[in-house]
Each structure stands twice: as C-alpha cells, then as structure tokens.
Amino acid sequence: MSDFWIMAKKEMKNLIRDKKLLFGLIIVPLVLYPAMGKLMQVGLEKAQGETHVAIANFDDGEYGMVLVKTLQNAPNVTVTLINASSVEKALESAAKKNQNVLVVIPRNFSESIRENKPATVELYGIFRSTSTGMKESVSEGRINAVIAVLSEQIARIKIQKLGVTSPDALLHPVRAESMSYLKNKIIPISPSVVSGVLASQSITLPIIVFLMVTITAQMAAGAIAAEKENKTLETLLTLPVKRTTIVASKITGTALMGLIAALAYMIGMRSYLGSLGVQSGISLSDLGLQITPEGMVLFALVIFLTIIFSLSLAMILAIFAQDVQSANTVVSSVILPLAFPAFILMYTGLGELPVEIRYALLADPFTHPIAAYQYMFSGNYTGMLTSIAYLAVLAALTLYTTARIFSTEKVLTAKIGWGRKS
C-alpha cells in the first residue's frame, strides 16, 4: 500500500470512530430525518384522511334520512349516527365517542327543502381538551369538508327533485383538465404538481450541497486542528512522507467521508420529504427533463471541484487555529457567508437576475453547483464548462496555497489569537 492510502485510511478510521461526527453525519440524517418525517406524516394523515362526522338527526321528514344515507355513501366520509333527545345530549354522546364534528339536522329540515327555502344544518366542532394539538387545530378544516359534502348532497337532492337526469352536469357544468407545457412539450400533468416537483428539486439540491460543503469543510478543518490539539502534528511532519501526500490524504479521507455523509443526508432527506407527500411519484424525466450522461458528468465535476475548494480553504483556515473548536468557529464564519447567497437560486434562475447580481453570485464558488444544476436541465453545457474552469482555477489556487503552507514551518508557527490565549 502506498503512503497515501495508509494515511487516507487512518484519516477515515479516525473520523469514523469519532462518536460526535458519526452522530451528526450518519445517525441524524438516516434516523432522525425519517423519524421526523414519520411523525409529521402521522399528524397529517389524521388531518387529511377520512372525514369523520357524527350526525344527530332530529328531522321527521324524508330529507334528513336521505342526507344521512348520501353522506354514508359518499367517499372518504365515515358517519356515526347519534340518537339523542336533545342537542346537548347528542354533543355529550359524540364527545364520548371521540368525535370531532357533530352535524345536527334540525326538526324543520325537510320542510325547508320542500318549501324551497335555504335549509340549515348545525355543525359543532368538539373540543375535548384546551390544548391546541394538531388534531384540534384541523377541526375547522374538517367542518369545512363536511359543509362542502353536505351542500353538494343537498343541491343534488334538490336538483333531482326538479327532475334533472344528470345532476352532475348541472352541479359542475365546467370541468378543467389541467396540463402543463414545458420545454416545448405538452405533459398531461397539472401545473401545480409540476411546480411542486420542480420546487422540491430546486430546494433539495441546494440544501444537500450546502450541508455537504459545510460538513466536509468542518471535517477537514477538524482533521488539521485535531493534529494540533492532540499534539500529533509535529510527529506527522517529521515522518518520511511527502508533505503533499499528507495534504492529499487528508483531503481524500475527508472527501470520502463527506461523500458518505452526503449519501446519508440524501437518503434521509428523500424519506423525510417523501413522507410529507412532496414526492408525488413523478420524476423529472416524466416531465421530459432529460439529463444526458454528459450533463451528469459535468455536474459531478462541478460538485467535486466545489468540495475540493472548500476542503482546502478550510484546511488553510484551520492552520491558524490551535484547537478543533476555534477551527470550527473560523471555518463557519468564512464558509457560511460564502455558501449562503447560493440560496437565492432556490427562488429564481440565474438568467432572471440583474447582470451585476448575477456576476456577483457567480464570483462566489458555492453558487456554481446550483447554477450548474439549472444548466444541466436547460442543456447549457457552455455554462457548465465555464463553471468548471472557474472552480478548477480556484481549487488549484487554494490547494497550492495549502501545500505551500504545509511545506514550510508556518504550518506549525502560524497563529492568530481568536479572542483567547493559547
């Protein structure tokens, strides 16, 4: 095995065995995200799924019963009948049965319909405790859903009474079939779904890139600062190993760990978003947004160069810190402000921005992965190649600087007091 791999392996071993890192990199994304998603999902299911209604029918005519029957037959509605002598008794009984909504059909219901007057039903939202949990807060939505179903059913009854044969055509005389037009193609998918898919893509990627850049930068900084903090750096620098090999192995070790972390975040995020129902089962290729292998390779290259840049920048910064904690602070205060502007691109395309802002953004290396992502779909290979050239220059410069500092005594003696004495 070459010196390089011996050192890169040690680097990874050291990182993998770091409990804090392992927790942040693997446990959080793989366990916590999906668990969070599941929790939200349980809440949402309760809120969105079936509409449960309790009905107390005080009507003596025919229409009260017809309404109950139609509600019972309506999709996504579960009806619980309550027999009581008064509204109060009915509410007590509904509360006991854990119902959230009680519909009371009053005595004169059939009479009003027969006389073509607006008929009234009373709806009660039932609160069993004063805590405002998820369940209580959606009662309003449920009541509205019940009202919508009721109105439609009553309208249907009235229309049928008028002798109309197809009440649906009268109730919904116009129906919209929504489709989307994207990249010169008609797609039989509603625009809201399409924009949902596009939005979820344009949010997920920047967040993942952001996480990956900051996490790997922190790891690289930590890998250097830990050598100082644990007093292993001097020994390391007297080993019969080229200084460039030391730098390269640290970068490779952390980049590989970063890759694992990014994968973990991607999987965790996907399952989190998936459980929120953002993932509509429609992929970008369903929308006709094809990614060519060339585009993919160029995009991967952009990501790779961005990470190399941020890793070597973090290493340079870490050389000036004396321990891991101050290294983390320094790296955060430099990388976060650099990585943040890229989030503008979550809301808009580069092309839609004023020229000055566009170039200001493009000067920031961390916007390139997101710009390249947009270029990849629009097939703008020139844009991607420009990004690659720019990032390659930056990465080469920072790498060279890192290697230079490592080959001099500065790596040992460089020091800035970050507000505290060493």
- Residue 61 backbone class (left: φ over 0; alpha: ψ -120 to 50; beta: rest): beta
Smallest Cα–Cα separation from 287: which of 373, 185, 378, 178?
185
Q: How far is CA 218 from the centre of its chain?
A: 23
Closest to other proteins by CB, 160 vs 408, is 408
* 345 three-class SS: helix
Closest to other proteins by CB, 16 vs 30, is 16
CB 309 within 8 A of CB 394: yes
CB of 23 to other proteins, least distance (A): 14
DSSP-derived secondary structure for 371-415? HHHHHHHHT-HHHHHHHHHHHHHHHHHHHHHHHHHHTSTHHHH--
CB 225 within 8 A of CB 213: no
Q: Which of 6, 134, 155, 169 binds other proteins (CB under 8 A)?
A: 6
Q: How far is CA 395 from the centre of its chain?
A: 29
Residue 3 engages other proteins in binding (rule: CB under 8 A): yes
Q: Which of 72, 151, 192, 230 binds other proteins (CB under 8 A)?
A: 230
* 43 three-class SS: helix
Nearest-angstrom CA–CA distance, 417 and 329: 13
The total of other beta-carbon atoms located within 10 Å of residue 169's CB is 11
Q: What residues from 155 to 174 belong to the interface with other proteins (CB under 8 A)? A: none
Choose one: 34-42, 80-88, 96-104, 231-239; the region binding other proteins (CB under 8 A).
231-239
Residue 240 engages other proteins in binding (rule: CB under 8 A): yes
CB of 418 to other proteins, least distance (A): 19
Cβ burial of 11 (10 Å; 0-12, 13-18, 19+) is buried
Residue 237 engages other proteins in binding (rule: CB under 8 A): yes
Closest to other proteins by CB, 146 vs 318, is 318
Residue 409 engages other proteins in binding (rule: CB under 8 A): yes
Closest to other proteins by CB, 116 vs 413, is 413
Choose one: 11-19, 292-300, 327-335, 378-386; the region binding other proteins (CB under 8 A).
11-19
Residue 20 engages other proteins in binding (rule: CB under 8 A): no
Structure tokens at 122: 């009373």
Residue with tokens 């009268």: 170
Nearest-angstrom CA–CA distance, 405 and 416: 15
Residue 14 engages other proteins in binding (rule: CB under 8 A): yes
Closest to other proteins by CB, 156 vs 243, is 243
Residue 403 engages other proteins in binding (rule: CB under 8 A): no
Closest to other proteins by CB, 5 vs 340, is 5
* Residue 365 per-residue DSSP state: G
CB of 358 to other proteins, least distance (A): 45
Residue 241 engages other proteins in binding (rule: CB under 8 A): yes
Structure tokens at 190: 């509603």
Residue 415 engages other proteins in binding (rule: CB under 8 A): no
Closest to other proteins by CB, 240 vs 419, is 240
Residues at the interface with other proteins (CB under 8 A): 1, 3, 6-7, 10, 13-14, 17-18, 230-232, 234-235, 237-242, 408-409, 412-413
